[in-house]
Amino acid sequence: MTPPTVTAATPIRIARPSADLRAAEAFYVDGVGLSVLWRSDADDFAELLMLGVPGALWHLELTRARHHDVRPTPTPEDLLVLYLDAPVPPALVERMVAHGGRRVTALNPYWERWGVTVADPDGYRLVLCQRSWTT
């Protein structure tokens, strides 16, 4: 039997804790423009919120553990980068800030040159990059 391989069609889940799922949802849905793909508060371990673009091969899963003290511990290099392949619209950045984000200076000058970095309500950084994935 051939072992499985990772391909371009392999789905990706980015999972991390959140201190406040409502604040995170406001930021990512109303601010960034992602959709709620799924949510659950029935799981005994944690509340779950999955965000993304319908039909995409990736999603962001935010969790809030019920019985464990799991806090977000972002660093300046914990980045989620969205490649827009266009200039970053100032109105989008303003909307992200209005919904709980905080504009921050990127640690890596590359991101400062090619994009805009906004910290989400948990302190994780989202980079809106004006370049395309292939450049």
Quick one: 12-129 is in which CATH superfamily?
A: 2,3-Dihydroxybiphenyl 1,2-Dioxygenase, domain 1 (3.10.180.10)
The span from the CA of 3 to the CA of 121, in Å, is 40
Global pTM?
A: 0.92
Q: What is the pLDDT of residues 67-121, one digit of tens each?
A: 888 899 999 999 999 999 999 999 999 999 999 999 999 999 999 999 999 999 9
* pLDDT of 42 over the 80 cut: no
Provide mean pLDDT across the span 35-63: 92
Using a pLDDT cut of 70, give the percent of the chain over it.
99
Residue 135 in this model has a pLDDT that exceeds 60:
no
Q: Where are the domains of the chain?
A: 12-129
pLDDT at 3 (0 to 100): 80
For 103, residues 6+ apart whose C-beta sits below 8 A from its C-beta are 93, 97, 116, 117, 118, 119
Report pLDDT for 4. Answer: 83
What are the C-alpha distances in Å from 131 to residues 45, 65, 113? 39, 36, 10
- Written as six digits, the tokens of 92 are 């989008």
Arithmetic mean of pLDDT over the chain: 94
Average pLDDT over residues 10-25: 95
Rounded to whole angstroms, the Cα distance separating 113 from 126 reads 15
